[in-house]
Amino acid sequence: MRIFRFFPLLAVSLLPAPLLTNTASAAPTAVAEPLAKTAAISRIDPTFWWVGMKNPKLQLLVHGPGIGSSTVTLNYAGVTLDGVQKLESPNYLLVNLTVSPAAKPGKLALQFQGAKKVKYEYELRARNTDPARVQGVTSADFVYLLMPDRFANGDPKNDIIKSTNVSRIARDSMYARHGGDLKGIEQHFDYLKELGVTAIWPTPVVENNQPKASYHGYALTDYYTVDPRYGTNAEYIGFVKNAHAKGLKVIHDVVLNHMGSQNYLFKDQPAKDWFHQWPGYTRSNFRDAAFNDPYAATQDRKLFGEGWFDKHMPDLNQTNPLVATYLIQNFLWWVENTGLDGYRIDTYSYSDRSFLMQWGAAILEEYPKIGMFGETWVQGTAQQAYFAQNIFPEVQGFKSNLPGVTDFQMYYAINETLTKDAGWTEGISKLYYTLQADWMYQDPMRNVLFLDNHDLSRFYSVIGEDFQKYKMGLAWLLTSRGIPQLYYGTEVLMKNFTDPDGKVREDFPGGWPGDKKNLFVAAGRNPQEQEAFRYVSTLATYRKSHPVLHSGKLMQFIPDGGVYTYFRYNDQGEAVMVMMNSNKDEKTVDTARFAERMAGFSSGQEVTSGAPIADLKTLKIPGRTAWVVELKR
């Protein structure tokens, strides 16, 4: 994320010693009437919890004026009060509980005794065991990345929320809210299905009540609430459920490293050590290499990990175990509450490395099927692999447990392929050498491939609006190893470069009533836009129905004369050949050198055009062309 732009919950023994401990009897007690929140308690995080979680420990962060001086009692079968802990601010109190497997769902009555007596009903819910929830994300998926504010406006009633810091819509300003929402995405599920998409990745949907540039979602102001301009928490739960019913998975975009300055936790800080404090505003140096550079200066390493991402994004101190537990519980909460299928972790490399290991372990322990990949905008495959599950020994106390990453190295390689002439290591050879370095990962199939995203110049503009190169890039995206991700609008040739105007985040044409163009329907597209959509849809649909192309083995051959050839194949005798000619002119390719993979095949069919290939021995491939050939015996 650029602004243009847990671990297992810590056991009480690992927390700072409680200042007050008041363990109550486990005998149940009847509650005569609902116990509502009072003015003395503004909120408790997590907002509710579940019985039967694998880790029985639960840390409640209670917020309210003067609540820190209270003692706490409870009386609920199966729930033990392990202790309470004061924080630096008198407006916070930590309540540490153990929720045993014997506990039943219900309302847990917490009684706070301070200047006055306050009762609070804390809800313990039953877990949802629907097998359709938390499906995970794999190389069989095709991920569609979109910005909810810029995709489609399905509910004009939530465009303006007067209680927010930005209570207006201004579609003529790229930094203002435009009105897109969850309902707008949901209304276009069929469009995504037609395109061949299997998973939706919206940029963060949580509340972002910042006074400036709040539309992108990466400066969250409430960890437990969907932004009201997108919808409600209940609507998001319904969004995930309805997506699943349509055969679409949902990836939740999360930020571990920082929050928004309007978050109540920053405006009324529980303690100074919840954030990285500096004498004055100090920005990160954005140099991830300092984390594992054996020769790094201490100050460089500190600036990278503890400097703020931006002025309105306070940097969290994840070495504080209370902060770490707060974050881990929150991201367990979202999975359990919604049934989402995967997490994309923003600015992954900026977080404290011990925390990252603890966070990943906690999420995977509770939800072993969940898909997870982190943003690793770094240089070099070794550096990228360092942040994923890899074959390296532990380096400076860090051994990543993150299943996959956003594969920037492959992004650099495909861009070089389509913008530079072929050389020994340059141009299309860059793809070969980058893929060759996959030996560093435990499983590179879990890495996410992409041509562009919300922080980068749009792919069609980068390649000079060359339609042949466009098709080459899409062919690579949907046939190479890993999980392909498409940025919204790439399928209909949306363009523009990153610049101060933010035009790479323009609205999807047709997402708003009265739009002059509607690219959601074939009738609204010009012939080239329709051909682009058809090309993506054809290849994505073929990929979905032919597992050999998304889950088969991969064999690549060293590029020769600007032509790069690789195969996806399996033990059942199926094979798909991909041949990419990066030259301007036609090339004649003698396929004898590919005999290892082509033996036994006599003909083929180019997938995107349907054209038959009767003779595989010598192929004449046009310039700036990628063929995806299903081999036939």
Is 29 a domain residue?
A: yes
Same domain, residue pair 90 and 219? no
| pLDDT score recorded for residue 176 | 95
For residue 566, give the CATH number of its domain. Answer: 2.60.40.1180
Is 371 a domain residue?
A: yes
| pLDDT score recorded for residue 213 | 86
Same domain, residue pair 530 and 593? no
Same domain, residue pair 198 and 309? yes
| pLDDT score recorded for residue 2 | 52
Give the separation between CA 618 and CA 630, rounded to whole angstroms.
16
Helices (H), 279-428: 298-306, 321-338, 353-366, 381-386, 408-419
Is 133 a domain residue?
A: no
Q: Give me the phi and psi of 54, to 5 degrees please.
A: -65, -40
**Last residue in a domain, options 530, 545, 560:** 545
The catalytically annotated residue of 155, 346, 452, 529 is 346
| pLDDT score recorded for residue 459 | 98
Is 37 a domain residue?
A: yes
Q: Which domain holds residue 593?
A: 552-632
Same domain, residue pair 162 and 185? yes
The tokens 């437990």 sit on which residue? 224
Same domain, residue pair 149 and 94? no
| pLDDT score recorded for residue 27 | 30
Same domain, residue pair 417 and 521? yes
Is 34 a domain residue?
A: yes
**Last residue in a domain, options 526, 545, 564:** 545
Strand order in the sheet with 49-50: 49-50, 117-125, 106-113, 71-74
Same domain, residue pair 601 and 517? no
The catalytically annotated residue of 207, 222, 253, 375 is 375
Active site residue 346: yes
The 10s digit of each residue's pLDDT in 122-156 is 999 999 999 999 999 999 999 999 999 999 999 99
Active site residue 273: no
Structural domains counted in the chain: 3
Inter-residue contact 102 to 78 (CB < 8 Å): yes
Same domain, residue pair 440 and 538? yes
Is 290 a domain residue?
A: yes
| pLDDT score recorded for residue 499 | 83
Same domain, residue pair 258 and 398? yes
CA angle 492–498–503, rounded 5-degree value? 55
* Bridge partners, 587 (sequence order): 621
| pLDDT score recorded for residue 22 | 32
| pLDDT score recorded for residue 602 | 94
For residue 243, give the CATH number of its domain. Answer: 3.20.20.80
Provide the residue type at 268 as one letter: D
**Last residue in a domain, options 519, 545, 571:** 545
Q: Residue 90, class by beta-carbon neighbours within 10 Å (0-12 exposed, 13-18 middle, 19+ buried)?
A: middle
For residue 109, give the CATH number of its domain. Answer: 2.60.40.10
Same domain, residue pair 556 and 540? no
| pLDDT score recorded for residue 175 | 92
Is 4 a domain residue?
A: no
Same domain, residue pair 46 and 172? no
In the predicted model, residues of the chain with pLDDT beneath 50 are: 3-38
Same domain, residue pair 247 and 105? no
Is 153 a domain residue?
A: yes
